[in-house]
Amino acid sequence: MARRKKAAATQGGAVAGIAVAGVVVLTIAKFVAAHPVASLAGCTAVLGAVICGTVLWRRRKAREARRAWEIEFARSQEIARYHAMAPDEFERALAFLCSRDGCSQATVTGRAGDLGADVTAYAPDGRKIVLQAKRYGGTSKVTGPDLQRFGGTCFTVHGAGVAAVVTTSTFTKQARQYAAHHGIRLLDGPGLAAWAGRTGPAPWH
């Protein structure tokens, strides 16, 4: 019984909706018949607004796509530049970026027995930054064991307020999990390019 009542109510609502739609259509038809010139002008204005809006929307999308392409191209150029560097040049480049973005005492410390600290600096807010540089090419990735070795020294030995690994490549899943668990920041190739090109954050942000 309840189902029948519900079905009847649903059917009644549909009929009412159709009736209202019919009234609206009839009203519009009467207005058009009584005011053909005004109706034509109104339709023309609406059509013009739709066309204009569509053109503007497409132009905005085209600009956004162009800007996205320019950013990606610039980043690819940055990564190619860093790939061409020797490991010590890469470390000096990271120290330069730190200085450029307001850090003090940016120093290349990478050498035999450095215990993972390739670049140290002090952020504008005073925190000590310790960077490990991994200039990897091809399909090489920074691995979990790489992060574990760095994680064992960056805070306890070097006293980092911000510890980060910066690479021209990318990180394995295990490396990302370790970094997230131990508070180590990661900057992969695109992230490095964004930092260098001022379209992305520095490791201490």
User: Which residues neighbour 37 within 8 Å (Cβ) at sequence distance 6 or greater?
Assistant: none
Q: How many residues belong to the chain? A: 205
**CB-CB neighbours of 93 under 10 Å:** 20
Per-residue pLDDT tens over the stretch 53-67: 777 767 777 676 665
CA distance readout (Å), 7 to 15, 20, 132? 12, 20, 69
Second CATH level (architecture) for the domain 86-196: 3-Layer(aba) Sandwich (3.40)
176 close to 147: Cβ distance less than 8 angstroms: no
- Give me the pLDDT at residue 37, please: 67
Per-residue pLDDT tens over the stretch 1-20: 555 544 445 555 555 556 55
Angle, vertex CA 187, rays to CA 202 and CA 169, nearest 5: 140
Does residue 139 sit in helix, strand or coil? coil
Whether 142 has a pLDDT exceeding 60, the answer reads yes
Does residue 134 sit in helix, strand or coil? strand
Does residue 167 sit in helix, strand or coil? strand
- Give me the pLDDT at residue 28, please: 61
147 close to 173: Cβ distance less than 8 angstroms: no
Per-residue pLDDT tens over the stretch 91-112: 999 999 999 999 999 999 877 6
Structure token digits, residue 183: 């508070």
Domain ranges of the chain: 2-77, 86-196
